[in-house]
Amino acid sequence: MTSRRRRALVLGNWKMHMTATAAGDAARAIARQLTAARDREVAVAPPFTALQTVGEAVRDSPLLLAAQNLFWEDEGPYTGEISGPMLAGIGVTYVLVGHSERRVWLGETDRVVNHKVAAALRCGLRPVVCVGEDQEARAAGRAGRIVRDQLLLALAGVARGEAARLAVAYEPVWAIGTGRAATPDDAAEMHALIRVELEALFADEAGAIRILYGGSVSERNIDSLMARAEVDGVLVGGASLRPAEFVRIAAFAPAA
Active site residues: 99, 171
Q: How many CB atoms lie within 10 A of CB 58?
A: 22
How far apart CA 127 and CA 92 sit, in angstroms, is: 11
Angle of helix 110-122 versus helix 143-154 axis, rounded to 10: 40
Q: Which residue type, as a one-letter code, is found at position 243?
A: P
The closest alpha carbon to 95, from 68, 55, 74, 113, belongs to: 68
Q: Which residues are paired to 175 by β-bridges?
A: none
**Closest among 172, 15, 162 to 96, alpha carbons compared:** 15
* DSSP E strands, the chain: 8-13, 40-45, 63-67, 94-97, 126-131, 167-170, 210-214, 233-236
